Structure 1
Amino acid sequence: MALPKGMRVLAIITACIFLYLVVLVFQAPSEEMQMPSRAPPKKYQEWDHDPQLDPSGEPPEPLRRVEGDNYAPDNPHSDRINATILSLVRNEELNDLLQSMNDLERTWNHKFNYPWTFFNDKPFTAEFKRKTRAATKAEVRYELVPAAHWDVPSWINEDLFQESVSLLVEQKVQYMEKRSYHQMCRWNSGMFSEHPALKDTQYYWRVEPNVQFFCSVDYDVFRWMADHNKTYGFNINIYDNPESVATLWPETQKFVADHPEYVHPNNAAEWLEDSHKRPENNKIAHGYSTCHFWSNFEIGDLAFWRSKAYRDYFDHLDRAGGFFYERWGDAPVHSVALGLFEDKSKIHWFRDIGYQHIPFFNCPNSPKCSGCVTGRFTDGEKWLNREDCRPLWFKYVGMD
């Protein structure tokens, strides 16, 4: 029996709706396809000092470790390479140095027994030698800084130096009035690598008095540097006082204009020039972000400091006088040179080495660490967190 016309129309409409829904179902993307694409991994430009964001972990393989007596202090065929731990230290800093020695020996060097080399512009006392020898099983060396490496250069005008001291002390530039501090910065910037005691040494780990190490490190960091063709290893990366380096960048630009061949094509110039974090710096430091590796911790290849590019750069800065007329530190000088003249892929952040030099920390999230708070950056006021320049390093270079 034929359906009434109205029912036939309703049936046709229902069928059409059904077919439309079927088509929609088959055309719709799957649930997996509807998921939003995953965001790329953070490069830590969003760093906010959340412990969960504070990365940890050892560098990539290979990691040279202790196997039997291969790093024994008296093994003439040891796996140690041509490297030393070094420190510029005064006799009166003995107790603070012993603190640093005990920490590094406990966390690392008692396994590898690399020699310690101490430098002083005065002869070391018998007490200093006795107590430092007792703090390690490794060889200990005591070296005098030559007067020619330490004395104020002849081209520095004493009257201008005193005027500069008065001016920058008023601007609260720390240590500006201490002549020995200027001498130390100059020595650490360009003279230490020329010391005769290091002429046959390739790698060094700089350790200062009154620093702390928090994490057990069970691989040979020097051999890791060599195996991975690294030039420099840092731990803390911060901003400098712009008044202390006001003309460092202009002098660097003059040097680069004369020697463009020294600038590495894979450099970190953007890290040195970024004005986003502290734009007020650029008004004073003439375009330099003041980001620098805090060189109280540095593990490096001396070949870089002995290269023609660096020797020419240091000589240019030395003649400009900023180690005395301003307070150019070895940290910004080393950092600017590395950022411009070295392949940035050869600079490594030792995230796994827990470290403190007051007031800043590097405290990894690792069971191998104790005595510091994971993710903590400063031992002082919270505003000091703004001094952390690692976000810019991660932004332009990455995490290595």
Structure 2
Amino acid sequence: MVGSPRLGHSKWVSLGRCKVFLAIIFTVLIFHLLFVRVGQTPKHLQAYTVQDVLSYNDVRIPPGFNTTAPSVKAAFVSVTRNQDLHELRGAIRQMEDRFNHRYHYPYVFLSDEPFTDEFKETIGWMTPSKVSFGLIPRNHWEVPAFIDRNKMREGMSYLTSKSVIHSDSLSYRQVTRYYAGFFHKHPLVEDYDFYWRLEHDAEYTCDIDYDPFLYMRERNIKYGFTITLHEFLDTVKTLWSTAQQFMTTYTHYTEDKNTMDWVSSDGGNSYNLCHFWSNFEIVDLSFLRSERYERLFRFLDEAGGIFYERWGDAPIRSLAVSMFLKKEDVHWFEDIGYLHSAFQNCPANSATQMKCHCDPDRSIHLNDFSCTRQWNQLSASK
């Protein structure tokens, strides 16, 4: 009986030591996850220079790759991350089954963080085409020095109060800015003439038995889309007035036979919020590399609306298309079945439907939230 308290005391001491030991292990584990797994440096301190990017770029060419040479210097490009791997596998699988197994166009994957070996090996299993993995340069990704961080946070808070999607997401703003003005300058993309944007969570719901790249090149088409939508007003409150300033300053850049009537229903007084949903786009990269597109992007970028509001690459690209291209320079790929989030393009043509697994009655162009009907009603000349 006298010894019982001593035994109890020893038991609690052992338990206490156990807790301390477990706490130490937990701390070491957290340190490993936060620091070691991203290459010994916290992610927010990583700074990839041009040399880092060039030395990291990983191009993998599978055996027997040259069995069929692509008709056009073109590639699928995806800005993605390691955690998107398994959704991305589905998108690639559908792209291969629906289209690319006949054409063998290459893929380019870009990220602000190094891809894991698992990511690269798994992607390599999904396609017999050439695949490339690249880092995004720091100066193309980070928040620019001219952005007022306090104003940015205030803008995010405002959009959050309005329940706007991606309202407080910095990474969303970074990726849309990158797509709007920088991806076509990456060393892994600069040798291509056309690009097809590939989203990790997109579905391709119809067989594509012709080459859209070749179709565009032969017809001198600069921009191809499947879906159009109206943007949320709160995310682009000053975009139109800023674009008007650009057009007033650089009058010589605007195409005489432009399609500005598609983005403004009142003769240019206001923006009607129509835009091409750019998560699907096939683009002649000479358009994005042109002096006028570069000048417009820099003008809009320096205005800060990408971070202060939430200007996306979709309305920015749409304004550029409307200012600089004629209607015949743009093509609606009505026959390409495409599904992303809740919106889809599904062809109604009965012959095409035999090669699809989508419901044409649910195609977004039938909905008033789409602007495709207005696009089709535009005159090809003024």
Rate the CA distance shift 1:138–1:77 in 2: closer, same or farther, 3 A: closer
Q: Counterpart of 1:69?
A: none
Q: Which amino acid aligns with 1:201?
A: Y
Aligned mates of 1:79, 1:172 — CA distance in 2: 45
Q: Does 1:393 align with 2:379?
A: no
1:224, CA displacement in angstroms? 1.2
- Assess if the C-alpha contact under 8 Å between 1:73 and 1:138 holds in 2: no
**1:82-231 to 2 correspondence within 5 Å?**
82-231=73-222
Q: Does 1:314 align with 2:297?
A: yes
Q: Counterpart of 2:340?
A: 357
Aligned mates of 1:79, 1:133 — CA distance in 2: 18
Aligned mates of 1:173, 1:184 — CA distance in 2: 17
User: What SS does structure 1 have at the residue aligned with 2:275?
Assistant: strand
Q: Does 1:242 align with 2:227?
A: no
Aligned mates of 2:203, 2:271 — CA distance in 1: 30
Moved more, 159-168 or 72-81: 72-81
Aligned mates of 2:204, 2:306 — CA distance in 1: 30
Aligned mates of 1:79, 1:319 — CA distance in 2: 38
Q: Counterpart of 2:9?
A: none
Moved more, 209-218 or 291-300: 209-218
- Assess if the C-alpha contact under 8 Å between 1:272 and 1:289 holds in 2: yes
Aligned mates of 2:379, 2:110 — CA distance in 1: 34
- Relative to the length of structure 1, the TM-score reads 0.76
1:98, CA displacement in angstroms? 0.8
1:354, CA displacement in angstroms? 0.5
Moved more, 243-252 or 196-205: 196-205
Rate the CA distance shift 1:180–1:349 in 2: closer, same or farther, 3 A: same
User: What SS does structure 1 have at the residue aligned with 2:335?
Assistant: coil
Aligned mates of 2:232, 2:187 — CA distance in 1: 33
Structure 1: tracts of 5 or more residues without a match:
1-71, 277-281, 379-383
- Assess if the C-alpha contact under 8 Å between 1:362 and 1:375 holds in 2: no
Match of 2:264 among 266, 273, 288: 273
Aligned mates of 1:230, 1:73 — CA distance in 2: 32
Rate the CA distance shift 1:73–1:270 in 2: closer, same or farther, 3 A: farther
1:346, CA displacement in angstroms? 0.6
Q: Pick the structure with more helix per residue.
A: 2
Match of 2:283 among 297, 300, 324: 300
Q: Which amino acid aligns with 1:93?
A: D
Aligned mates of 1:342, 1:95 — CA distance in 2: 37
Q: Does 1:377 align with 2:376?
A: no
1:78, CA displacement in angstroms? 2.3
Query: Which of the pair has the greater relative contact order for Cα pairs under 8 Å at 6+ separation?
Result: 1
- Relative to the length of structure 2, the TM-score reads 0.79
1:386, CA displacement in angstroms? 2.5
1:79, CA displacement in angstroms? 4.5
Structure 2: tracts of 5 or more residues without a match:
1-62
1:111, CA displacement in angstroms? 0.6
Q: Which amino acid aligns with 1:348?
A: H
User: What SS does structure 1 have at the residue aligned with 2:128?
Assistant: coil
User: What SS does structure 1 have at the residue aligned with 2:85?
Assistant: helix
Q: Counterpart of 2:249?
A: 258
**1:338-349 to 2 correspondence within 5 Å?**
338-349=321-332
What is the percentage of aligned positions where both structures have the same residue? 38
Q: Which amino acid aligns with 2:297?
A: F
Aligned mates of 2:162, 2:237 — CA distance in 1: 12
Residue by residue over 1:378-397, the C-alpha shift from the partner in whole angstroms, topping out at 9 and shown as x without a partner, is: 5xxxxx93211111101115
Aligned mates of 2:342, 2:146 — CA distance in 1: 35
Highest Rg: 1 or 2?
A: 1
Moved more, 384-393 or 165-174: 384-393
Aligned mates of 1:397, 1:362 — CA distance in 2: 23
Over the aligned positions, Cα root-mean-square deviation in angstroms equals 2.0
1:77, CA displacement in angstroms? 7.3
